[in-house]
Amino acid sequence: MAEKTNGSAMLENVDYHAVGMSATDPSLNPFMIAQRQLADAAKILKLDDATHEMLRWPIREMHAHLPVRMDNGKVKVFHAFRVQYNDARGPTKGGIRFHPDETIDTVRALAAWMTWKVAVVDIPLGGGKGGIVCDPLKMSLGELERLSRAYIRAFARLLGPEKDVPAPDVYTTPQIMAWMVDEYAVIQGQNQFGMITGKPLALGGSQGRGDATARGGVYVMREAAKKIKLDLAKATYAIQGSGNAGWFAAQIINDEIGGKVVAIGEIDGAVYNPEGLDVHKFHEHFTKTKSVKGFKGAEILPNSKDVLELKVDVVVPAALENQITKANAGRIKAKMILELANGPTTPEADEILFEKGVMVLPDFLANAGGVTVSYFEMVQNAYQYYWEPELVRKRLDMKMTDAFNAVYEMAQKHKVHNRLGAYLVSVHRVAEAMKLRGWV
């Protein structure tokens, strides 16, 4: 084995400019955060330097500039990325985000987290991620379709069921997956449903994929609640975000667990009612108006982040990264944080929450339900034989419960927070595959 790593000190030697990283605010750059988190795990695992260095970088990343004809007749050029982070355990897998603030570093970080995510639930895949810098809320359906197809044309040669398999993420939907699988079929001259997941049911999608991220998180929360003796049916919840993850979480908590959702944060503020919100009415209102404003039956808070500091039992960040930082972590009152978003908590905040004894269910464990059912979708596509919803849920439950237990045990054993516990489980698995392949 090569010389032992010195952990985070290695970060000092990076020529950030040469690798296209922005060094302006390292404490909030998601990719630098991902590298720091890895370094903490590398130290405890005593990873050799070569393994650590390989795991700090994507094996491959692609940039493309997509010309798209807009409804006004003009062509607009969109910047797009696909990052294949690590494929030692299988084809890379991860969603595509459509977001105005997308950067190569966020996509790299998200691709790294996908690598740890698929490893923590022990499915035979690697990690990847994609993104397009765009504002989908300001685009027509036709523009979105042309943009989605352009993305597949640019990256088709790098995608495929045995290579790299995209899926939905922030602001991407089953309809977008449908356009993408169709464009891929045109290019290949044949249907290949397993090249993308999160598809509509009528087009090779899986039962249970729509709410899989939230449902998987709820299974993890159920196991964690046993450890801290929290009665989930009597608990109160505040949710930031009501998209692919947050809205389904609100529904499951409200309709199935019987818990009280008191607040939901969205792009232009939050709705709050300590007696409990009518989550269905809010969803109807928000879908129609794209705003929290004007919703009856709740107080309107100015910022979506405000929900994180409310006096509730469980906080569910289900929006974007860097929401819980050293600036607000000290004010969090919840007993448990269910991270359905990717990267919502910074390392400084992790330390504060650990000191306070908050049960944090870290993102790449808590939100792994989405990719787990995506993997089930790939399996069903390969066999052309589809499962009942009950079977999907049962198998998802097994995966999430096993993953939680592995992480919790690891964190207890090393007396570290759950995120580091999760890193120890995942990094060990990926490093083992790299070693067996003879990479390091």
Q: Please calculate the CA angle 431-422-326 and round it to the nearest 5 degrees.
A: 120
Q: Taking CB under 6 A as the rule, does residue 86 contact ligand GLU?
A: no
Contacting residue, 47, 111, 167, 349, with ligand GLU by CB under 6 A: 167
Provide the 10 A C-beta neighbour count for residue 257.
18
Please select the residue that binds ligand GLU; options are 169, 266, 306, 313, rule is CB under 6 A.
169
Distance CA 331, CA 392 (A): 38
Cβ–Cβ < 8 Å for 374, 167: yes
**CB of 86 or CB of 342, closer to ligand GLU:** 342
Catalytic, 335? Answer no
CA geometry: angle 275, 278, 283, nearest 5 deg = 140
Q: Where are the alpha helices (DSSP H) in 13-156?
A: 30-45, 49-56, 104-120, 141-155
**197 touches ligand GLU (CB under 6 A):** yes
Q: Does 370 bind ligand GLU (CB under 6 A)?
A: yes
Q: Does 159 bind ligand GLU (CB under 6 A)?
A: no
Sign of the Cα pseudo-torsion (243, 247, 249, 252, in order): negative
Of 4-12, 350-358, 364-372, 408-416, the window that binds ligand GLU (rule: CB under 6 A) is 364-372
Tokens linked to 419: 């995120």
Minimum CB distance to ligand GLU, residue 165 (Å): 7
Q: Which of residues 100-119 bind ligand GLU (CB under 6 A)?
A: 117
The dihedral built from the CA positions of residue 56, 62, 68 and 74, taken in this order, carries a sign that is positive
Window of 269-277, 304-312, 370-378, 388-396 that interacts with ligand GLU by CB under 6 A: 370-378
From candidates 173, 240, 251, 374, binder to ligand GLU by CB under 6 A:
374
User: Phi then psi for 114, rounded to 5 degrees?
Assistant: -60, -40
A 10 A CB-CB count for 70 gives 14
State how far the Cα of 431 lies from the Cα of 422, in Å rounded to an integer: 14
Q: From the list 52, 82, 89, 93, which residue makes contact with ligand GLU (rule: CB under 6 A)?
A: 93
Identify which of residues 51 and 244 has a Cβ nearer to ligand GLU in the complex.
244
Total residue length of the chain:
440
Decide: is 381 part of the binding site for ligand GLU (CB under 6 A). no
Our finding on whether 94 is near ligand GLU (CB under 6 A) is yes
Which of 129, 260, 305, 335 is flagged as catalytic? 129
Note the residues at the interface with ligand GLU (CB under 6 A): 93-95, 117, 167, 169, 197-198, 342, 367, 370-371, 374
Residues involved in catalysis: 129
